[in-house]
Structure formats: C-alpha cells, structure tokens
C-alpha cells in the first residue's frame, strides 16, 4: 500500500489502526505504571505510539519522501506536537477518553517523536508544577549594574567622567552626575581618605562649564535654566543649593553646572541580549556631552561617614528633577521599560551578629523566646542552590528582575503629579507595627516611604521614632537615645540620635508593615493581631501572620536585629534607626518636602530584594535574609489606674486634667480627681455667710426706707 500520501478523517481511519489499538491495549495492561511518565525522544530509532493518540479522532498526515511531516490541522488545534489524553485505571480496567475533535497526530516514518502528557502530571509531581516563580534566574533578560560598598559603607559604582575613573555614590534623591572637585573642600583628603582621587577639570578634554551663577532647579520650582557654556572654568559661578537631609543630618553643597563625557563602567548585559550588546559595545554605557555638576563645597561630619570616601554622586531619581537634560541613568532606565531592581548586600561584618545565650540554646523549641524566620525561596534543590545569589555582592538589575527571591509584594500605585513623588522610589506603607502595636497611633493609617540609598539607617518621623523606642528593649537612658535628665544636652545637628542595644536584650522584635490597607481600626488605629506572638519559633511566625492571612494581605518585615551597627568607633552597638527632626518643618525651600518621609537606608534595603516599576509608579519588596526576633522583650503595657487613660503610641498612662473642675485636684496615689475637702467647705461656709449678710443688709435697707417714707408724711 502506497503511504506517501494518506489523508484520513473521522471514523474511517479506525479499521487501519485496529492492529495498533490491540498492541496499545496490551502495552497498557502490562506497563500501566509508565502512563505517568512523559517521554520525548528524537532520533532514528524506534518510536512508541500511545493509545490516546491513536484514538484522538481526526488525523491529517502528510508524509514526504524525505521523511519529514507536514500537518494540516483545523482551527481547534492549540499547540503543535502536543497530544492531550486522560488515562484512569480502576481495578485493572482501562478507560480512555475519546473525542473526534482532538489535535492532529503525527506519524513520521523515519524520525520519531514520543510525547505523553497526562492530565495528572502536575498532581503526580507537585514539585515540578509551575507557580509563576521560576526556580532560578535563568529567565532574567536585562542589564546589570554592579555596585560596591566603601570601607565607610557608602554604596557606589565606577564611572568615568572626562576619562577619569571615579567612585560615584548612589543617591536616589537627586538626579544627574555630581563630581567632587579635586583639592576642594568637597574632596577633603584626610587620614581615612588617602585613596580618594576626585575629579580634576584640568584633565578633561571635552568639558564645558556654565558661566552664570543661576540656580539649576526643576522648571516647576524656578525659571528655566540657561547655560552659557565656555571651556574655561570660573569658580565664581558656583551657586549654593538648598539643603537636603541624609540620616537626619543637614547637607549643603555648592556646584558649577557643566558638561562632560560619561562612561558607566560596571554596566553589562545579561542573557540573550548579551551577544548583541557585545557587538555594539560602548553604545549603551557611554554618553557624550552629558550634564555634570562640579561640587566644590559639601558638608562634612566627623561622627558620620556619608560621602567621605567617594568621588561624587550618581543620582537615581527620575527625570522630573532634571533642570537641563536627562541623566545617563534615566536614559538607560527609559530604554529598559523603566524597571529595575535593587539587590544590595552589606559587606560581611557590617551588622553585629546575634549569639544565642545558654538559656536560649537549652530552651525547648515550642516555648523558647527566640524566633527565627527563613524566607521561602523559589528553589529548594541543589540546582537552585548553585544559582543562589552571592550574599556579599550587590547589583542593580535593569529592564527585568530576578524571580528566585520568591513572590514580590507590590505597593499600591502612588499618586502622580508631584515632581518629587514621581521621581523618587516612593511608596505608601500602612500600619507600621512593632510588638503587635501600631506606632502610627492616631496620626494616620498610612505614611509615605522612600528608598534612600544615600542614607544608611531607617529614618522615621520623630513622633514615630519615640513610639518605636518606647516598645523596644534599648538603652533609653543613653544620652544619644532618650535621656531622662533634662540637663543632658545632645547636639543632633552633628551626629544622629540613636539608641544602643545590649546583647542580653537580643534578639529584637520585628518591625512590620503592609503595602495595602488592611482596614482594621481601633483606639490605636489598629487592633491587636489575631495571632499574637507566642515567642516560639513556629508560633511567632505563624501567629504574626494569621491576621494578614485572614485579610489576604501580606506583611513585609524589617528585622530590627539586623540593623545593629558593627564597626569601630562611637556608633558600634547602636540600632540604626534615627528620628527625622528636620524635614517636614516650614522653611524657605517648601518645595522639597511636604511632610517627613519614612526613609529606608542601605542597612534596611540589605534585607530586601526591591523592585522599582517607575512606569506604573509602584515598588515591590521580597524578604531575602533570615533573621532572629522575639516579642518577649517588648516593653510591657503600662497599667493605668484611677482616671488615667492609656496612650498606646507612647505606651504611657496620661493623668486626667482635673483643672477643668473647680475645687478638684489630682490625687497622686489614686490618680483620681478629688475635691479639696477642707478648703472647699470653708469657702462654701464663707460664701453662705456672705449671702446671709447680704440678705440681712438688704432687709435693714428696705426697713429704713419704709420708716423714712412713713415719717416724712
């Protein structure tokens, strides 16, 4: 029979396939355990025909002499080469689902492809089922910007400006390229900064400078900036710009606007696009005649090391803050879907490690006051362990984000229209909680947060910082924390206010927040969590998550125990959480801030994988590091007595105001408003006596008047 061209449809093909049906039944009876396997072989050997495929209905075969197969399918065909069948076995019997409208079945004479896809494959192999999260980062297609930390824990990347290699600190709250001028106050070289080079304008061949001293601010804040460029540099044209606060310290800088060639050295393509990038090497990371800002003066602080061992700043803020042209960073991001992710990891030894005490080691797992949380990674096997990111390296992923950190918790899209909110990595956080208490109190259910790569610590508005410190087991009597004595005068303008932590009070509680409204309100704006921490390893994590799970809202955890500074000097052993005592107050530069923001510095970001979707104005978080925590050392709730009322934001009992009542005073022992007994009754007696005397005098007055009238007649 000539099989070079066979075209069969419907039930007419069954007589021709009867021998194969019998063979298939025999194979299914003897080897039914193979039905759960999916086999695919390509070669010139033999092949296996499945019964479900033979009974699949309409068959359309085109067999050429060359051995290849061309298939003609109707509109119901979905994926080429897939055969879907359902096999169920009960007590030795076999039932096969049949439909004449199934996909086409191919039978090449020389090359064979075996493919058996069972409907129960995912049930039989749940670990292989896809849940939307790849087990490795092989799917990442984008650019990677390698970033590093200096000895002083400043985050930087290597950039050439005017042919000079510089270390530019990453600043997510400014836009553009800032370079510190060599031999200027901004590039002060002390004993600790002996490797500092900074930017020398004399060594640049293509640099030009603006010979006017106007402030270069976004157009919405001032008139449009015009640059009258010249090749010669006149430092008389430097202008002092509005101050900004990093780690609650005031930084003021003066600079001259100019332009020069910029090359981002640590930018590389990854994935399939890497080959294309190699062919066009230099086009994506080299920028001609870009705006630069030559900084000549910058604030410096002896007790804090921001910007001390870097040669400038590279702004990561959006183009809304640009006063001239788009920066190299925004040019790169806009070409890559306005999407990037931060994988920042502090150098080893930056955080003081937690060491279990003997009592914690001997305590049973079910009742210990020690908790340990390990985030669920997408991969769990050896192959995934090989692709696990190195915890000591830091990267910025541009154009895509890696999926092996687990699911991303996304924030709500932020409001648009403000130049700062549009350009910052800003998001709304809800119900900031510690020790199952909301430290937002009665101020609001939500607050604005921002990723601040120039700051190191978690910076909170002062009222929230005071609430947090009241609940944490920190050294409150430290002069840098909350001194009880009013005689202690701590200068917060030279070194940030922080609280130290003793080793015996560790681990600290976890600070958690939500990225969407959980809509739970009480006298403290949020009620007690339905699953309070029991102190146990499993109980603490499960209890803390019960409330969020019931509302289908996922929590984001800030491990406070991972924020304890470990370094030589006066900051060792201090919790890297600072109060923002400056921003948000009225000032001349009212356009900078509307209220103090919650700022996440590098110590905080090191615990997360952060995805920034600037096109959709949202930020995503995924916890990536394990940490220790317990709520057993939280400050106990203050017990109120008498007429006192509880203020949960500060965990204090407020005395009643007895001054609103006459002749009432506060009893310091009972904390009740009590009447002033003796003086009150004396006063009442005198008042009644005066009243009687007044009545008596009036009586005598009326009597004398009457007598006078009678006698005058």
CATH for 522: 2.40.70.10
Nearest to 315 by CA among 216, 383, 401, 409: 216
Quick check: is 182 in a domain?
A: yes
pLDDT at 266: 94
Q: How many CB atoms lie within 10 A of CB 84?
A: 16
Q: Is there a domain that residue 366 lies in? A: yes
| DSSP three-state, residue 17 | helix
Q: Are residues 410 and 537 in the same domain?
A: yes
Do 303 and 241 lie in a common domain?
yes
Residue 194 lies in a domain: yes
- Which residues of the chain register pLDDT less than 50? 1-11, 31-137, 276-282, 365-390, 521-550, 585-594
Does any domain span residue 345? no
Residue 350 lies in a domain: no
- Give the range of the structural domain holding residue 671, as residue numbers without chain letter: 645-675
Consecutive H or E run containing 297: strand 286-298
Residue 91 near residue 48 (C-beta atoms within 8 A): no
Q: Are residues 168 and 313 in the same domain?
A: yes
Residues 574 and 617 in one domain: yes
DSSP line for 127-174 = GGS--S--SSSTT--EEEEEEEE-TT--EEEEEEETTEEEEEEEETTS
Q: Residue 691: inside a domain, yes or no?
A: no
Query: Taking CA 381 as the corner, what is the angle to CA 379 and CA 382, rounded to the nearest 5 degrees?
Result: 120
What residues form DSSP beta bridges with 149? 155
Cis bond before residue 659 (omega within 30° of 0): no
DSSP tag of 389: P
Question: Could you tell me if 609 and 651 lie in one domain?
Answer: no
d(CA 423, CA 27): 65
Write the pLDDT tens digit of every residue in 541-567. 444 444 444 456 788 999 999 999 999
If one counts every other C-beta atom within 10 angstroms of the C-beta of residue 273, the result is 16
Classified as helix, coil or strand, 450 is: strand
Average pLDDT over the chain, rounded to an integer:
74
Provide the pLDDT for residue 556. 93
Burial class (CB in 10 A: 0-12, 13-18, 19+), 697: exposed
Q: Are residues 70 and 182 in the same domain?
A: no
pLDDT digits (tens, 9 = 90+) for 310-358: 999 999 999 989 888 889 999 999 999 999 999 999 999 999 998 876 6
Among candidates 347, 603, 344, 317, which has minimal Cα distance to 459? 603
- H/E stretch holding 394: strand 394-398
Domain final position from 596, 629, 662? 629
The answer to whether residue 575 is domain-embedded is yes
Structural element, H or E, at residue 542 = helix 537-550
Q: Are residues 444 and 542 in the same domain?
A: yes
DSSP 230: E
Number of domain units in the chain: 4
In a domain? residue 321: yes
The H-or-E segment that residue 469 falls in is helix 462-471
Q: Are residues 614 and 650 in the same domain?
A: no
Compute CA distances 133 → 177, 212, 323, 410, 484, whole Å: 36, 54, 41, 15, 51
Residues 375, 282: one domain? no
Assign 3-class secondary structure to 167-233: EEEEECCCEEEEEEECCCHHHCCCCCCCCCCCECHHHCCCCEEECCCCCCCCCCCCCCCCCCEECCC
Residues 385 and 330 in one domain: no
**Maximal CA-CA distance, the chain:** 161
Q: Which of 566, 601, 629 is the last residue of a domain?
A: 629
Q: Is residue 615 located within the same domain as residue 491? A: yes
Cα-based distances in Å from 205 to 161, 165, 286, 562, 615: 11, 14, 16, 46, 37
Indicate whether 237 and 372 sit together in one domain.
no
């Amino acid at each position: 029979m000539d099989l070079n061209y066979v075209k069969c449809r419907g039930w007419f093909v069954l007589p021709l396939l009867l021998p194969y049906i019998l063979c298939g039944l025999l194979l299914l009876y003897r080897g039914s355990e193979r039905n759960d396997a999916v086999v695919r072989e390509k070669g010139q050997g033999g092949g296996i025909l499945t019964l479900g495929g033979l009974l699949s209905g309409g068959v359309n075969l085109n067999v050429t002499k060359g051995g290849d197969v061309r298939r003609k399918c109707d509109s119901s065909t979905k994926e080429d080469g897939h055969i879907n069948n359902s096999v169920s076995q009960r007590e030795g019997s076999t039932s096969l689902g049949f439909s004449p409208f199934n996909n086409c079945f191919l039978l090449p004479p020389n090359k064979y492809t075996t493919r058996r896809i069972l409907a129960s494959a995912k049930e039989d192999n749940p670990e292989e089922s896809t849940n939307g999260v790849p087990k490795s980062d092989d799917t990442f297609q984008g650019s990677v910007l390698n970033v590093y930390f200096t000895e002083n824990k400043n985050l930087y990347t290597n950039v050439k400006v005017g042919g000079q290699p510089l270390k530019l600190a990453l600043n997510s709250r400014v836009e553009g390229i800032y370079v510190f001028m060599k031999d200027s106050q901004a590039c002060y070289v002390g004993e600790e900064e002996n490797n500092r080079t900074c930017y020398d304008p004399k060594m640049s061949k293509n640099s030009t400078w603006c010979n006017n001293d106007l402030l270069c601010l976004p157009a919405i804040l001032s008139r449009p900036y015009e640059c009258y460029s010249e090749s010669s540099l006149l430092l008389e044209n430097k202008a002092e710009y509005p101050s900004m606060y990093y780690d609650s310290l005031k930084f003021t800088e003066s600079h001259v606007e100019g332009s020069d060639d910029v090359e981002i050295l640590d930018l590389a393509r990854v994935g399939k696009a890497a080959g294309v990038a190699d062919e066009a090497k230099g086009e994506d990371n080299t920028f001609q005649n870009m705006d630069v800002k030559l900084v000549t003066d910058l604030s410096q602080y002896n007790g804090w090391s921001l910007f001390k061992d870097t040669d400038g700043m590279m702004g990561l803020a959006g183009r809304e803050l640009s006063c001239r042209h788009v920066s190299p960073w925004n040019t790169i991001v806009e070409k890559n879907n306005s999407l990037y992710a931060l994988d920042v990891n502090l150098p080893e030894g930056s955080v003081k490690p937690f060491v279990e005490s003997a009592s914690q080691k001997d305590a049973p797992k079910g009742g210990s006051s020690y908790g340990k949380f390990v985030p669920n990674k997408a991969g769990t096997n050896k192959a995934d362990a090989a692709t696990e990111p190195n915890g000591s390296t830091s990267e910025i992923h541009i154009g895509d984000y890696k999926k092996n950190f687990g699911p991303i918790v996304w924030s709500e899209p932020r409001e648009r229209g403000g130049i700062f909110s549009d350009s910052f990595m800003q998001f709304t956080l809800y119900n900031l909680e510690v020790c199952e208490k909301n430290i937002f109190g009665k101020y609001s259910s939500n607050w604005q947060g921002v990723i601040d790569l120039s700051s190191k610590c978690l910076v909170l508005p002062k009222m929230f910082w005071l609430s947090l410190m009241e609940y944490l087991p920190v050294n409150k009597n430290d002069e840098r924390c909350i001194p009880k004595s009013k005689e202690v005068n701590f200068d917060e303008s030279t070194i940030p206010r922080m609280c130290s932590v003793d080793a015996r009070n560790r681990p600290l509680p976890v600070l958690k927040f939500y990225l969407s409204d959980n809509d739970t309100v009480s006298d403290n704006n949020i009620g007690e969590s339905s699953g309070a921490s029991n102190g146990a390893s499993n109980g603490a994590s499960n209890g803390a998550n019960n409330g969020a799970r019931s509302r289908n809202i996922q929590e984001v955890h800030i491990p406070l125990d991972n924020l304890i500074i470990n370094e030589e000097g006066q900051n060792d052993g201090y919790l890297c959480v600072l109060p923002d005592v400056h921003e948000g107050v009225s000032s001349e530069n009212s356009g900078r801030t509307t209220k103090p923001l919650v700022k996440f510095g590098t110590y905080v970001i090191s615990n997360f994988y952060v995805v920034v979707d600037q096109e959709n104005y949202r930020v995503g978080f995924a916890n990536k590091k394990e940490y220790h925590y317990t709520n057993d050392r939280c400050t106990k709730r203050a017990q109120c007595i008498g007429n006192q009322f509880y203020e949960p934001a500060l965990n204090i009992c407020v005395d009643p105001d007895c001054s609103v009542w006459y002749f009432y005073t506060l009893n310091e022992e009972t904390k009740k408003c009590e009447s002033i007994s003796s003086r009150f009754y004396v006063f009442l007696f005198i008042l009644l006596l005066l009243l009687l005397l007044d009545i008596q005098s009036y009586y005598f007055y009326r009597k004398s008047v009457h007598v006078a009238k009678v006698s005058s007649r």
